[in-house]
Amino acid sequence: MAVNIPAAAEKLRRLMNLGQIIQSHALSFFHLSAPDLLMGLDSDPAARNVFGLIAAEPELARNVIRLRQFGQEVIEVLGGKTNSLSNLPIM
């Protein structure tokens, strides 16, 4: 199409993409990997989940929620739209 994208638009698009990466990786790591990595594979499998991790590490849970919220706010500020989960309260 031979369209030249302005440098500012390219930078804004990249920032929105980085906001998405931040919020997505925070969610993915905390829900999928962190219980096994932080609680250990030898811990009780019934407690080795996101709820067990929240009970064991409440400050970590708050930080992950804040990190995800930051990524969503970057997207919202730059794009003017966000998903419905961004309005969840911080613990």
Do the beta carbons of residue 54 and residue 61 sit within 8 Å?
yes
Tens digits of pLDDT across the chain (91 residues): 888 999 999 999 999 999 999 999 998 998 888 898 888 889 898 889 889 989 998 999 899 989 999 999 999 998 886 555 555 544 4
Secondary structure of 34-62 in HEC code, one letter for each residue: HHHHHHCCCCCCCCCCHHHHHHHCHHHHH
Contact 23, 75 (CB under 8 A): yes
Cβ distance 56 to 89 under 8 Å?
no
Q: Is the pTM of this model over 0.85?
A: no
pLDDT tens-digit readout, 44-61: 988 898 899 899 989 998
Single-letter residue type at 16: M
